[in-house]
Structure formats: C-alpha cells, structure tokens
Structure 1
Amino acid sequence: MEEQKRARLIYNPTSGQEIMKKNVAEVLNVLEGFGYETSAFQTTPEKDSAKNEARRAALAGFDLVIAAGGDGTINEVVNGIAPLEKRPRMAIIPTGTTNDYARALKVPRGNPVEAAKLIGKNQTILMDIGLAKNVKNGYSQEHYFINIAALGTLTELTYSVPSQLKTMFGYLAYVVKGAELLPQVQFTPVRVQHDKGIFEGSVSMIFVALTNSIGGFEQIVPDAKLDDGNFTLLMVKTGNLFEILHLIRQVLDGGKHVDSNLVEYIKTRSLSIKHLDNSSRLLLNLDGEFGGDAPVHLYNLANHIEFFADTDLVSDHAITLDSEQINREKMAQRFIEETNHFEVSIK
C-alpha cells in the first residue's frame, strides 16, 4: 500500500484581514481531498516562527509545505527549507497586500480556497532562489530571497514611506511615490562584479530580480525567467531628478527603460556589490525588508525549490487585468500626469 503524502500548512493569522483564519478548515479539506494527510501551524509573533516550523516540517519528512500569508511569510518559509539538502515541494496561499510571488506563479489571490485548489492541477516549476551573503547588525549572515534584492538611495527612501501607502500600493509604489522624495536622491559609487564583467561607477538604485513582478508591476524586468538560473541585474546610472522621472514613466509605459543608456540591464548567475564610499552605508533590501549592508555577494540557486503554479498561465505572456491590477494601472497613469506637472512647476 502506498504511503499517504503529508502536508503542513503554515499560515499567518493576521495577514489580509485574517482571511486565512476564516478559511483554514476548508483549505485543509481541499488538501485532504488531493490525498494529503494535512495539519496546520499558526505563526506567532516570535522571531522566525514560520522559518523554524518550515525547517521542522521538512526534517520530519513532510512532502509538501504550504505558506499562507504575504510575501514576507513566503520568504520566511523558504528560508527554513532552502538550506536543507532534501527539500519538500512548496505551495503558496497569498493573503498579503502585494503578493508578488503569487503573481509570478499565477496563483489565485484573495481566495485561499481557490489557491489551495491549484495544487490539484499538479503543475509545478523548479524555481530559482536567491542567496545573499553579507553582514547584518555586525554579524555575517546568509539569507535567501525569492523575488528581489535592491540597494541604493532610491531603495533606502522606501523605509521612510508611511505604512498605509505601502499597504495601498505595494513595493514599487513607495519607490515611485517619490515625486516628493526624489530631490533627496544621491549618486552612490559602487563596484559591481557580474558574469559579463565589472561595472564601476555611481548609481541611484540597483535591482537584482528573480521574477518579473515587483510591487505588482511586471514591466520593471519584463523578460525575467523563473527557472533559467539567472538574475536580472538593473542599475540606474543617474541621480538627476528629471531623468529618473523619465525612466519611471518608461517603466510604466511598457518597460521601455531597458533600452535606455541610463540603465545597465544584465543577466547574471551571481554578482558582488561593493560600496566605494567609506563615509556612508549602502543598505540592502531583500524582498522588501532590511537585509543588512553592502558589500554583498548574491548567488542564484537554479531550480532550487519546486513550487506549485498554474503553468498554463505562466507560459502565457498575456496579463489578466483584475480590479486590483486596473487600479494599479490607473495609479501609474496618475503618476505620469503628476510628474509632468511637477517638471513644469520646477522649470
């Protein structure tokens, strides 16, 4: 007799207006219907709660670990599993505000039961995972990331944006919102070594992306592949306010920024980033959270974790515009209009 598969649901009870708490029983029923002996773990405010439980479940031999929450919860579960030699399959149930990883995998958002039902399609992708090695709070660390590593003064400005704005618009929006913050942008001298060579110069922002969805927008790295073993490295080589505004408009206008001479756009399997100004810090942002300081070494762990996904949609480049996406498109258009007025008023 074939041994029954086991699944562990790790869920954040406070994410998405506690939507997961209301749906745990039905989600467990769905997973049981797919042949999994399923149990649930509710995360706590304790540090690394989801990470520690994911590691425990993996070492206990669970076949599937499901992360239910926002991108932060998914990141934490990945950090529990990624260091292990034997890693279970993963699935996600997105209940956060931006849900970039769910967008990349085409997992239904805002409906935990429908997201769980996707597992029944039995479609998976061997996803690339990022590994960052650097120093945080004075200690050497290794931290895995699933979507984006970012550095530079534009990135650092995001830490000062009100949490309400982050909730409304997600990661990119509180970078983009910087029409009022952009005058503070400074050029930062860096040395970036990548597969194609070495870049040495000043930048206002560095993106190192694994997927094409950042803050709900899919135009920043429009050609990112989920499983090719490459990061997409994007460096903004200007600190000029008007040039940055123009680049942002190009991003929102179908990703035309990738051809700009103000941008370095490179595919690389690994890279190192060093800050060349010893009088200041260059902060690292990993999946939207503070990840320590440069220098940092980044490695793409190709095909590292097998995720359930809707591959029928992932292979289709067409984007389905739900109400949330339509609102983002409207916000982008408003930003373009407002920055036009901003430029005119400064002149």
Structure 2
Amino acid sequence: MQKVKFIYNPLAGDHLIMDKLDQVVDLHQKNGYLLVPARLGPEMDMRRALEDAKEGYHHILIAGGDGSVDLLINEMKRRDLDLPIGILPMGTANDYARFLGIPKDIELALTRMFRHAPRKMDIGMINEKYFLNVASTGLFTDVSQKTQDELKNSIGKLAYYIKGIEQIPTFRKIPVKVTSQHGSFEGDMYALLVFNGRTAGNLDLAYKSKADDGLLDVILIKAANFKEIVPLLAKMLRGDHLEDPVGLLYFQTDEITIDTTDPLIVSDIDGERGPDFPLNIRCIPQGITVLGADEDVTP
C-alpha cells in the first residue's frame, strides 16, 4: 500500500470530521492507500505534523477549513515539499475547496481524488506568506474576523450578511495607495480584496478568477456616500456581476503593492490576521498540485 499523510483539524467547522474518520480510513484502504494520521492541536502543530512528510508519501490529505489548508501550504513551502494535496472541506466557508468544485461529501470528494489526475494550481503570496483564496483589508477584513464561529456554523453565509450590515455605521475612509501594472489607485477606500480564489465567506465576488491563469483578481471599494455604497454592497451580497459599477474598481494582475498611512488597519489572509503594511501580493503560477479539482475550474 502507498502511504498518505492525513492531517485533520478536529475543531474545524461543525467538527464533522470526527464522525467521518472511519469512513476516510476505509475508503483509502479500499483504494490501496494506508493513512498515517496527525491530529492538529496544542501538542501537534503543522510543523510537527509534517516532520516525516519526505518519507515516501504518495500525497497529503488535509481535512479542515481555508485556514488549515493555508497553514499546510506555508509549511510545505518552508520545507520545499512538493507533494499533491487532497482537501476535505470541513471548515465554515471552505472558499478555496468550493472554488475548485471539491464537494463536502467525503465519499464524492475522495472518489474524485482517486480517479482524477493531479492538477497544477496557482497560489498567492503576501509578503512572505502564501495563501490560497483571498487577502484583504478594510471592511471585509473586519467582517471575517469579527463574525463568531458559532454564528457562522449555525447560519452559514447569512452570518456574514448580518455582520456586514452591523458594520455599515462604522464605515470609515482608509487612505491607500495601490500600484500594479494593470490597475492603480490612490485615495480613500472602504475595502480591498485580492483573490487567488473566487469567493469570500461564500460570497461570489471574483467571478473572472481562474485557478491557473497566473493572475490575481483585485476588488477595491472606493470611499463614497451611502447612497452609492449601499446599492453596491447589495449587488455584491447578491452575487451580481460587478461591471463598472459606481464606487468599485475590479481588475486582474499578477502582482500588486498596497500601502496605507492608517496605523490601525490590518490585513487578513483567509480569515486570519495577515502581515503588516506595506503589502506586496503576487501570484505564484502553478505553485501547488491539487487532487480532485473539478475539470471545469479552468477554461
């Protein structure tokens, strides 16, 4: 049997993986794979989980949310480890797995991994950290970090809507300078999102994004009066296409720099605190190998 490193986060999402462990093991054994598990927790961080990862593993299977997958990618890059990755989406939003068309049903997800060839996918890099889905700052950063896990687990996407509405009275203008070869901006904004994936909190925003096009999708919400910003936010929450709406800038680029003079503003990577400003964000073409991605993810 070929060995598979299985890393799982028991606290991800609604803890569903804890009831599915036997199914995961059974399906692998039936397909000729021997799982070697590592349970993430205080005694087992991602570094320890990957200590033996160069000892003949066929691929790595990660069960968790976007944050867990980001931790895995960063540790693999630190170790110069190039193995295919299978993702079991067990988090709250699972934005990156959703982007790749990986189903939440474990049997369906694993069946695809066993039957489909590995595929090269882009990843993002923000300063010295890698990310898979989105780096952001401003309004949506606050929404992601302030939405309680219990609320997200119980009502899903609606939790982000509720928290976003709560944040409207606290909107403040953020001075920012954005520079790239394909689009630039200097002035006040409310929010900025840089996508390698497509969705944020299951909100379908970067609808032009492709998994292996070598480009990042940049969405910037300019500071405006509420008569302009409320209809724009409504369009974003509905998942409407954002073709040249008032108050929004949307473009694609392979690299972008972002800076601000506001000392209170922080960055976010897939729901977790990101690095300090200034930010340099770039696309790493074909930076990872993924198992089980939907064949329609790329043109």
Structure-1-length-normalised TM-score: 0.78
Give secondary structure in 2 for the equivalent of 1:9: strand
Contact 2:232 2:246 in 1 (8 A): no
Per-residue deviation, 1:83? 3.3
Equivalent position to 1:290, from 259, 262, 273: 273
Moved more, 285-294 or 242-251: 242-251
Give secondary structure in 1 for the equivalent of 2:242: helix
Cα distance change, pair 168–248 in 1 and its aligned pair in 2 (3 A): farther
Equivalent position to 2:94, from 96, 99, 102: 99
Equivalent position to 2:71, from 71, 76, 83: 76
Aligned to 2:192: 206
Equivalent position to 1:59, from 54, 68, 72: 54
Moved more, 223-232 or 252-261: 252-261
Per-residue deviation, 1:38? 2.4
Aligned to 2:24: 27
Q: Does 1:123 align with 2:97?
A: no
Amino acid at match of 1:156: D
Q: Which has the higher contact order (CA 8 A, sep 6+)?
A: 2
Q: How does 1:143-292 map to 2 (within 5 A)?
A: 143-169=129-155, 173-174=159-160, 177-196=163-182, 198-218=184-204, 220-277=205-262, 280-292=263-275
Amino acid at match of 2:290: F
Segments of 5+ residues of structure 1 without an aligned counterpart are 134-141, 317-347
**Distance (Å, rounded) in 1 between the aligned partners of 2:167 and 2:81:** 45
**Distance (Å, rounded) in 1 between the aligned partners of 2:12 and 2:238:** 32
Per-residue deviation, 1:122? 2.0
Aligned to 1:330: none
**Distance (Å, rounded) in 2 between the aligned partners of 1:103 and 1:11:** 18
RMSD value, Cα: 2.4
Query: Greater CA radius of gyration, 1 or 2?
Result: 1
Per-residue deviation, 1:293? 2.2
Give secondary structure in 1 for the equivalent of 2:107: helix
**Distance (Å, rounded) in 2 between the aligned partners of 1:17 and 1:153:** 26
Aligned to 1:10: 7
Contact 2:211 2:297 in 1 (8 A): no
Question: Percent of aligned positions with the same letter in both sequences?
Answer: 28
**Distance (Å, rounded) in 2 between the aligned partners of 1:172 and 1:285:** 20
Contact 1:82 1:305 in 2 (8 A): no
Amino acid at match of 2:275: G
**Distance (Å, rounded) in 1 between the aligned partners of 2:200 and 2:166:** 21
1:22-63: per-residue Cα shift (whole Å, max 9, x none)?
2223212222333333211111135x7135423x24333422
Matched residue count:
299
Structure-2-length-normalised TM-score: 0.90
Cα distance change, pair 208–171 in 1 and its aligned pair in 2 (3 A): farther
Give secondary structure in 2 for the equivalent of 1:177: helix
Cα distance change, pair 12–253 in 1 and its aligned pair in 2 (3 A): closer
